[in-house]
């Protein structure tokens, strides 16, 4: 049973990679400036928040908890940073520290809710997303827009050796995952995600592992919030929440099973990048504005369905051979 | 000795109460009463009969959408495509009807079969391709809403048929049609869930899928059917909503997916499936609509409104749906 689910997960991550290459080929053939560094810098700049939100969703999901408040928390972080700067007149660094702390605290709170209060993760994070979104809208009502911190925007738009700063955000996030997933805690997280009960009987501290996963998810949300501040150059309280749906789709494409306990964050990041690249390509290739979202969402649906469809066909053919 | 026996009798009584249906119905009932008291203290007009009736008829729209969500949640799934189907029904129901009763029936046929096909697609994706319900319904829903936006160009138009307006705002012997519909739907769902083979198999599937399969329930067929039914219910509630509101807006039902989940959960339906009553969900729908109405009356800023809704939902979850400890 375990081996089978592993195979499905691996296959779908490979398919995400395959589709990404296909997208690059299509883009390279049809758009002249596709391989220009500007194009890619732009893609990373625009989609880094989504990628980080996807990572935040995926890490909790690997631990078997479906966290749908990641986008709202990222927005809250963005709003806290801008609020601290524009309203309270704090220096930028203090604001950023404040924002990041907010993100991490939110992650820990969610962890406590899921582990100590023993609420269903999906529905309790859904309530939590209302709390976070509400708090963000209390600080900055959506109709108002506050001044940007030019400092953050400049930092976000910077390039180091031709590589945009936003890409470093993602690399930093993946580095955390790389270190974490190779520790004992990271291994145990998979066990918890696959079957919490069995993991408990093997002597794993399930609450601790899920707590760590949620806290790291909070770190990713905080990073996403900082990236959002750089991207939007303002505080927008409702920008983040809709990104959650994209994150769910992206991590499913990237091979993170919604049943928990399989996949990894590299796949999730790949899935998010694929979705981002696809929507960017659609923006360039499909000329009718009203058709663009249909094509994008249709392609995302296809990407989600494709791996499972292939698996199902293979399974049926095997069955008929036997 | 006798004291301990008494205590054990009492705990047994509490245990039995906790397992009974009444325990789960208590949350929305107490919630509704508390809200009426609080809201009535602030704005006594809430407690007048017309406002209660208008509240109940608004809840009827949510209740219709909740029917689908209830069935989906009973089999252990979740439907995140309520809003797109609702808007589909509301907008195209208005646009295709051409303002006549016959047109409404025709549009019901067209939009209904379209929703059924789309619901069938998400059902097949979930059951046949083993995609989690959340992802499948989300993606199909996004596809539906973007298609709808493309076709209407963001500005839905069309004449509202008088019959829809009558259903939405008219009344029969002083009772709103919507209220009658709500009562009818609640009773019908009660019978479907408790008295029919289909309804009973939903509980079985939600409790244990494999056991249901072994017991001879046609699991795959019923699961697909449930997603089709959910799409149809949301679509129908769109017709009710367009009649009630009287015009078509793009963002008219933005919160309804979340409201329907909240209502069903508040009504005591287990999110992992297998346990729940539609009576609870109906009360939950009234509770959610009442909460949002009161917060609107108080003229609270949108942020505070959302925060309070989240806090209330969280409180109910903490009181009602804590899972069992792993260590027993």
Contact criterion met (CB below 8 Å) for A131 and B315? no
The nearest alpha carbon in chain A to B148 belongs to: A294
Band the pLDDT of A1: cuts 50, 70, 90.
very low
Option in A129, A131, A258 nearest B132 (CB):
A258
The nearest alpha carbon in chain B to A8 belongs to: B130
- Token duo for residue B291: 């909460």
Residue A8, pLDDT > 50, answer no
A 2-31 → B contacts, CB under 8 A: none
B136 touches chain A (CB under 8 A): yes
What integer best gives the mean pLDDT of chain B? 85
Band the pLDDT of B105: cuts 50, 70, 90.
confident
Distance, in Å, from the CA atom of A27 to the CA atom of B117, rounded to the nearest integer, reads 33
Option in B129, B149, B302 nearest A290 (CB):
B149
The nearest alpha carbon in chain A to B311 belongs to: A131
**pLDDT of res. A3:** 46
**pLDDT of res. B71:** 93
**pLDDT of res. A4:** 46
**pLDDT of res. A5:** 45
DSSP notation for A166-187: HHHHHHHHHHHHHHHHTSHHHH
Contact criterion met (CB below 8 Å) for A172 and A271? no
What integer best gives the mean pLDDT of chain A? 86
- Token duo for residue A306: 């494709």
A 188-207 → B contacts, CB under 8 A: 196-197, 200, 206
**pLDDT of res. A44:** 87
pLDDT digits over B160-202, tens only?
Answer: 777 787 777 777 777 788 888 889 999 999 999 999 999 999 9
Contact criterion met (CB below 8 Å) for A29 and A189? no
Using a CB-CB distance cutoff of 8 angstroms, which residues of chain A are in contact with residue B139? 249, 297, 300-301, 304
Q: Report, in angstroms and rounded to the nearest whole number, the Rg of chain A calculated over CA atoms.
A: 20
The predicted model gives A144-172 an average pLDDT of 79
Going by C-beta distance under 8 Å and a sequence separation of 6 or more, which residues neighbour residue A127?
A: B310, B313, B314, B317
**pLDDT of res. B74:** 93
Look at B258 and B7; give whichever has higher pLDDT.
Answer: B258
Residue A180, pLDDT > 90, answer yes
**pLDDT of res. B328:** 60
A249 touches chain B (CB under 8 A): yes
- Token duo for residue A217: 């998810």
Residue A229, pLDDT > 80, answer yes
Closest approach of B133 to chain A, Cα-based (Å): 9
Contact criterion met (CB below 8 Å) for B56 and B179? yes
Distance, in Å, from the CA atom of B145 to the CA atom of B151, rounded to the nearest integer, reads 10
The ipTM estimated for the assembled molecules is 0.84
Chain B interface disruption, residue of A115, A298, A305, most B CBs within 10 A: A305
Considering only A73-77, A203-207, B1-5, B281-285, which range has the smallest mean pLDDT?
A: B1-5
Residue B137, pLDDT > 80, answer yes
Contact criterion met (CB below 8 Å) for B14 and B258? no
């Amino acid at each position: 049973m375990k081996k089978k689910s592993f195979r499905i997960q691996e296959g779908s991550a490979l398919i995400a990679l395959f589709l990404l290459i296909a997208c690059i080929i299509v883009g390279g053939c049809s758009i002249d400036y596709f391989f220009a560094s500007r194009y890619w810098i732009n893609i990373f700049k625009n989609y880094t928040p989504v990628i980080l939100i996807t990572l935040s969703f995926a890490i909790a999901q690997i631990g078997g908890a479906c966290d749908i408040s990641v986008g709202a928390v990222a927005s809250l972080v963005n709003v806290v940073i801008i609020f601290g700067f524009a309203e309270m007149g704090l220096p930028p660094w203090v604001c950023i520290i404040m924002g990041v702390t907010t993100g991490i605290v939110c992650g820990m709170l969610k962890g406590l809710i899921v582990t100590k209060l023993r609420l269903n993760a999906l529905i309790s994070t859904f309530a939590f997303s209302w709390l976070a979104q509400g708090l963000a809208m209390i600080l900055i009502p959506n109709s108002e827009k506050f001044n940007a911190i030019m400092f953050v925007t400049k930092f976000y738009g910077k390039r180091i050796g031709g590589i945009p700063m936003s890409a470093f955000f993602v690399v930093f996030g993946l580095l955390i995952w790389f270190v974490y997933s190779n520790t004992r805690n990271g291994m145990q997280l998979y066990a918890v995600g696959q079957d919490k009960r069995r993991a408990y009987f093997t002597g794993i501290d399930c609450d601790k592992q899920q707590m760590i996963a949620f806290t790291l998810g909070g770190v990713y949300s905080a990073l996403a919030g900082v990236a959002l501040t750089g991207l939007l150059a303002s505080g927008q309280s409702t920008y983040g929440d809709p990104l959650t749906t994209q994150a769910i789709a992206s991590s499913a494409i990237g091979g993170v099973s919604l049943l928990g306990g399989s996949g990894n964050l590299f796949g999730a990041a790949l899935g998010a990048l694929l979705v981002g690249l696809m929507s960017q390509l659609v923006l360039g290739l499909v000329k009718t504005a009203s058709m663009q979202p249909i094509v994008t969402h249709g392609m995302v649906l296809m990407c989600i369905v494709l791996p499972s469809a292939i698996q199902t066909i293979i399974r049926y053919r095997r069955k008929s051979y036997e | 000795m006798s004291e301990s026996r008494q205590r054990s009798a009492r705990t047994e009584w509490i245990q039995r109460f906790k397992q009974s249906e009444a325990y789960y119905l208590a949350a929305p009932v107490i919630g509704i009463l508390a809200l009426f008291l609080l809201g009535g203290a602030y704005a006594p007009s809430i407690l007048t009969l017309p406002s209660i009736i208008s509240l109940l008829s608004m809840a009827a729209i949510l209740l219709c959408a909740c029917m689908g969500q209830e069935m989906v949640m009973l089999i252990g799934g979740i439907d995140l495509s309520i809003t797109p189907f609702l808007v589909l029904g509301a907008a195209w129901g208005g646009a295709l009807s051409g303002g006549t009763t016959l047109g409404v029936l025709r549009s019901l046929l067209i939009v209904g079969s379209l929703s059924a096909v789309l619901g069938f697609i998400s059902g097949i994706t979930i059951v046949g391709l083993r995609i989690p319900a959340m992802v499948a319904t989300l993606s199909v829903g996004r596809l539906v809403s973007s298609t709808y936006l493309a076709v209407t160009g963001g500005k839905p138009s069309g004449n509202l048929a008088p019959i829809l307006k009558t259903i939405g705002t008219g009344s029969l012997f002083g009772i709103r049609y919507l209220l009658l519909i709500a009562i009818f739907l609640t009773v019908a769902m009660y019978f479907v869930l408790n008295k029919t083979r289909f309804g009973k198999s939903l509980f079985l599937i939600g409790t244990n899928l494999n056991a249901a399969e072994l017991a001879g329930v046609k699991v795959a067929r019923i699961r697909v059917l449930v997603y089709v039914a959910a799409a149809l219910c949301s679509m129908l509630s769109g017709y009710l909503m367009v009649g009630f509101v009287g015009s078509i807006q793009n963002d008219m039902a933005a919160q309804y997916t979340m409201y329907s989940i909240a209502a069903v959960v508040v009504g005591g339906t287990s999110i992992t499936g297998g346990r729940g009553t539609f009576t609870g969900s109906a009360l939950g729908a009234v509770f959610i609509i009442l909460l949002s109405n009161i917060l609107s009356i108080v003229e609270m800023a949108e942020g505070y409104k959302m925060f309070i809704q989240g806090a209330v939902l969280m409180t109910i979850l903490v009181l009602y749906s804590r899972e069992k400890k792993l260590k027993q």
